[in-house]
């Protein structure tokens, strides 16, 4: 998760912070919309392939059986998010949250058309408010399309959209997400932050003496001229002079307003960001509540990188067929039908061969059918073959997947019971 650099929170200058926040919101929005267009080694930078049960991530292809890697990455993200909350407080809300970006965009569009936003309501001529609705709808449609690009490659999406050939779930998602975002822009906006979002309540439980806080320090209270600029600038319509409030999203609009007023008096602004309320500066981060979670996140990242780096180039899953019963051959041996799934995790086309051996003796066993396949990078294929075993007894069988050079790249096991009575 991106966070504003430390220089954003310097208190010793009177330059406005708002333009930096706006630039960061634009950068994150563009990253969201453009990330599905980029490819690494011919694969999507990030995409969830639901039909293929695959996750494309930075050149890696993770199948459903490798879900533990995704869960580990999610755990890293959650811990990082909580750590960022402990350090930066509500900066996520005011600088990075998509809901704030939508609300800021809706407010900017309204003001561009000559409307006012007061108490979260649009005020102005009816025709201006009517003209704003198509703009909200366009923003909602583009945002919902951007979300679908993480499931359907953008080029494929537009081709199928123009031919009205999107799958039904995609049409439903497109319609519902567009509707939800439109209603958010047109009606809800800041109400989500004020009344519905649980993050503000969670953050109050995570706040600590090291948390970055936007506030009016007690020692500056006497210097306040009660101009009210900070209250008028606040999108949440709170008064920061009354102390910390759960509705504050730490967007720093009040800070900029105070700086503008005080600059006219050749004085620095009174409202400021500080790590904690004691003004210890960045040294406040040398705290066990920061260092321990940071160490845990680093350790998990190392484990995740090692696991990703040591993934085998291919995988093999084998199972006895449930649709084809065992067969008695002319010489009395038993043929058992198997289904195998081979996944080429590598970045190049490869040829694979399936072999079988008795797990106890190590002697090779005979396979008939599809045991050799040429596969493109990242593909998953099913193979069907027959295992030939003696006419009686049960045995453990070891299946081996080899590449064209004879190197073993994956393996799987199965138990086979040769049943002469049931075999036709």
> Per-residue pLDDT for 51 more than 60?
yes
Domain assignment of residue 189, yes or no: yes
Same domain, residue pair 322 and 222:
no
As a whole number of Å, the end-to-end CA separation of the chain is 62
Q: Identify the band that residue 279 occupies on the pLDDT scale cut at 50, 70 and 90.
A: low
Domain assignment of residue 267, yes or no: yes
Quote the pLDDT of residue 11: 43
Domain assignment of residue 424, yes or no: no
Maximal C-alpha separation, the chain: 104
Global pTM reads 0.76
* 122-126, 200-204, 217-221, 250-254, range with the lowest pLDDT: 200-204
> Per-residue pLDDT for 269 more than 60?
yes
3-28: per-residue pLDDT in tens?
Answer: 333 333 344 457 889 999 999 999 99
> Per-residue pLDDT for 423 more than 70?
no
Same domain, residue pair 261 and 395:
no
Distance of CA 76 to CAs 54, 171, 295, 305, 306, Å?
20, 33, 11, 12, 14
81-114: per-residue pLDDT in tens?
Answer: 888 888 888 888 999 999 999 999 999 999 999 9
Quote the pLDDT of residue 71: 86
Same domain, residue pair 170 and 64:
yes
Same domain, residue pair 62 and 119:
yes
Same domain, residue pair 323 and 185:
no
Domain assignment of residue 347, yes or no: yes
Same domain, residue pair 82 and 218:
yes
Same domain, residue pair 332 and 288:
no
Domain assignment of residue 1, yes or no: no
Average pLDDT on 225-235 reads 93
Same domain, residue pair 53 and 186:
yes
Domain assignment of residue 423, yes or no: no
Q: Identify the band that residue 208 occupies on the pLDDT scale cut at 50, 70 and 90.
A: confident
Same domain, residue pair 174 and 323:
no
Number of domains in the chain: 2
What CATH number does residue 330 fall under? 2.60.40.10
Quote the pLDDT of residue 409: 87
* Domain boundary pick from 269, 300, 331: 300
315-371: per-residue pLDDT in tens?
Answer: 888 988 888 888 888 887 888 899 998 988 877 889 999 999 888 888 898 999 989
Quote the pLDDT of residue 277: 65
Domain assignment of residue 365, yes or no: yes
* Domain boundary pick from 248, 267, 300: 300
Dist. CA 367–CA 357, nearest whole Å: 10
33-48: per-residue pLDDT in tens?
Answer: 999 999 887 778 899 9
The tokens for 272 are 């400021």
Q: How many CB atoms lie within 10 A of CB 303?
A: 12
Q: Identify the band that residue 311 occupies on the pLDDT scale cut at 50, 70 and 90.
A: confident
Same domain, residue pair 251 and 353:
no
Domain assignment of residue 73, yes or no: yes
Quote the pLDDT of residue 419: 57
* Domain boundary pick from 272, 300, 328: 300
Same domain, residue pair 205 and 282:
yes
Same domain, residue pair 42 and 189:
yes
Q: How many CB atoms lie within 10 A of CB 158?
A: 13
Residue 342 belongs to domain spanning = 314-417
């Amino acid at each position: 998760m991106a966070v504003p650099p430390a220089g954003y929170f310097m208190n010793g200058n009177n330059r406005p912070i708002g333009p930096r926040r706006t630039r960061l919101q634009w950068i994150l929005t563009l990253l969201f919309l453009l990330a599905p267009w980029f490819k690494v080694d011919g694969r999507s930078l990030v995409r969830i392939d639901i039909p293929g049960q695959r996750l494309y991530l930075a050149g890696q292809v993770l199948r459903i059986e490798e879900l533990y890697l995704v869960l580990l990455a999610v755990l890293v993200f959650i811990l990082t998010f909580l750590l960022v909350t402990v350090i930066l407080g509500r900066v996520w809300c005011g600088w990075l949250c998509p809901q704030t970006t939508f609300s800021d965009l809706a407010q900017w569009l309204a003001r561009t058309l000559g409307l006012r936003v007061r108490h979260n309501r649009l005020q102005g001529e009816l025709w201006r408010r009517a003209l704003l609705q198509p703009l909200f709808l366009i923003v909602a449609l583009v945002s919902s399309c951007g979300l679908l690009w993480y499931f359907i490659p953008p080029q494929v999406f537009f081709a199928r959209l123009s031919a009205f050939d999107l799958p039904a779930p995609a049409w439903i998602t497109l319609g519902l997400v567009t509707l939800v975002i439109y209603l958010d822009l047109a009606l809800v906006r800041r109400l989500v932050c004020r009344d519905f979002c649980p993050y503000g309540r969670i953050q109050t439980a995570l706040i600590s003496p090291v948390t970055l806080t936007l506030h009016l320090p007690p020692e500056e209270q006497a210097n306040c001229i009660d101009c009210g600029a900070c209250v008028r600038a606040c999108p949440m319509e709170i008064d920061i002079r009354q102390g910390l409030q759960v509705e504050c999203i730490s967007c720093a609009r009040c800070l900029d307003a105070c700086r503008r007023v005080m600059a006219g008096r050749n004085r620095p602004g009174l409202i400021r960001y500080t790590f904690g309320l004691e003004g210890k500066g960045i040294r406040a981060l040398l705290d066990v509540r920061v260092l321990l979670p940071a160490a845990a996140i680093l350790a998990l990242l190392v484990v995740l990188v090692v696991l990703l780096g040591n993934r085998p180039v291919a995988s093999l899953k084998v199972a006895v067929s449930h649709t084809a019963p065992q067969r008695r051959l002319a010489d009395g041996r038993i043929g058992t039908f198997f289904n195998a799934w081979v996944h080429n995790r590598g970045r190049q086309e490869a040829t694979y061969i399936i072999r079988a051996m008795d797990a106890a003796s190590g002697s090779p066993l005979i396979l008939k059918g599809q045991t050799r396949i040429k596969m493109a990078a990242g593909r998953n294929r099913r193979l069907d073959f027959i295992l030939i075993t003696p006419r009686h007894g049960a045995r453990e069988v070891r299946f081996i997947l080899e590449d064209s050079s004879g190197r073993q790249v994956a393996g799987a096991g199965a138990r086979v019971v040769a049943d002469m009575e049931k075999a036709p």
